[in-house]
Every structure is written in C-alpha cells, then in structure tokens.
Amino acid sequence: MENKTLPHETKKVEQNVNGELTYEDKVIQKIIGIALKDIPGLLTVDGGFFSNIAEKLVNTDNVTSGISTEVGKKQVAVDLNVVVEYGRDVRDIYDQIKRVIKTEVDKMTHLDVIEINVNVVDIKTKEEYEKDSETVQDKVTDAAGTAGNYISTQAGKAKKSIDRGTENVKENLEPRVE
C-alpha cells in the first residue's frame, strides 16, 4: 500500500528559527496602566508635576503616566506613583496592585515581574480628585458655553429692544387723528 498525503493534511516541519522577542518599556507600562484601572481605592497613577500640567492642558488618556519600568529579556521591575482614596486600606491596594501587575504582565508577555515599588504621592477624597481632574480644556469648554449663553441672552434682549423701537417708530409715523 502506498502512503499518500491528502491535500487537507499537513506535515509538521520542525525548523530552528533564530531571533528573540523583546518589549519596549512603554508596552509594559501600557499593560500595567490598563490593568490598574479597576482597582477600588486607586484614584490614579500620577505622573508628577509636569505630566499633570500637560494632562490638565489637554484631555489625554495617557495610561502610562506615573509608571516606570525596567524591562529585561526575562524580567520586569516596576515603579509607580499613585494617588489613593482617603479612608481606604493602602496596604490592601498595594497588594492588589502587585497581584494585578504580576498576573497581567505574565499572561501577556511571560516576563517575570520581580519587583513592584509603589510610592503614594497623595491621598484625596473622591470629590477632591474629581474636582482636581477637571482639565483646562474642560474649563475653556465650560467658559465658551457660558459665554455663548450670555451672548445669546444679550442678542435676545437686543432684538426685543429693536422690535420695541420699530413699533414706536411705526406708531409715530401713523397719523394721530383721522
């Protein structure tokens, strides 16, 4: 009997292919930034003064702000600056941060997270955080809306004034007596 290979069957060919897989720091930072979004009590990963100024000028979704990484061929070390919610258990938040980072980085890259340093730079209430998170762009948009409403109101008043003046002129042009 002859051994035939059917077209839908494939032969497994073993090949040695050289090369390596590496990751830019920003890729690991992005994985971490996205993974941390759902930790209760963690208000933000904070990029420091200059980063915060830039983010207040323009709405950004820069999830890597405040995350520093050192990425090797097999291992990762992480440093974070965070703002936590007032009244929360900071140690518990730290433990959750470590668990989430280790799980997500390992799952996506198979790199071993060997160190996670978290520096708490501020503690705020949710209300303080939301107030502080308003950007300059938001303020300009709000001011433009307010100015637009003001201008619209003033234009309406001016139109009413002109209409009254027109009515007065018409009354003055009509003969008073018949």
Interval 36-59: pLDDT, tens = 988 999 998 875 443 343 444 444
- Phi and psi angles of residue 116, each rounded to the nearest 5 degrees, phi first: -135, 110
Per-residue model confidence (pLDDT) at position 50: 36
Q: What is the mean pLDDT of residues 88-112?
A: 97
Q: What is the mean pLDDT of residues 120-138?
A: 78
Quote the tokens at residue 122: 């501020």
DSSP string, 49-79: HHHHHHHHHS----TTTTEEEEE-SSEEEEE
Q: Is the pLDDT of residue 111 over 70?
A: yes
Per-residue model confidence (pLDDT) at position 51: 38
Per-chain mean pLDDT for the chain: 78
Q: Is the pLDDT of residue 71 over 70?
A: yes
- Residue among 52, 54, 66, 64 nearest 119 (CA): 66
pTM: 0.60
Q: What is the mean pLDDT of residues 111-137?
A: 85
- DSSP H helices in the chain: 25-35, 49-57, 90-109, 126-132, 136-173
- Phi and psi angles of residue 6, each rounded to the nearest 5 degrees, phi first: -75, 150
Q: Is the pLDDT of residue 32 over 80?
A: yes
Question: For residue range 84-93, what is the model confidence (pLDDT) as tens digits?
Answer: 999 999 999 9
Q: What is the mean pLDDT of residues 94-117?
A: 97
**pLDDT tier at 25, thresholds 50, 70, 90:** very high
**CB neighbour list of residue 52: distance below 8 Å, 6 or more residues apart:** 46
Per-residue model confidence (pLDDT) at position 177: 54
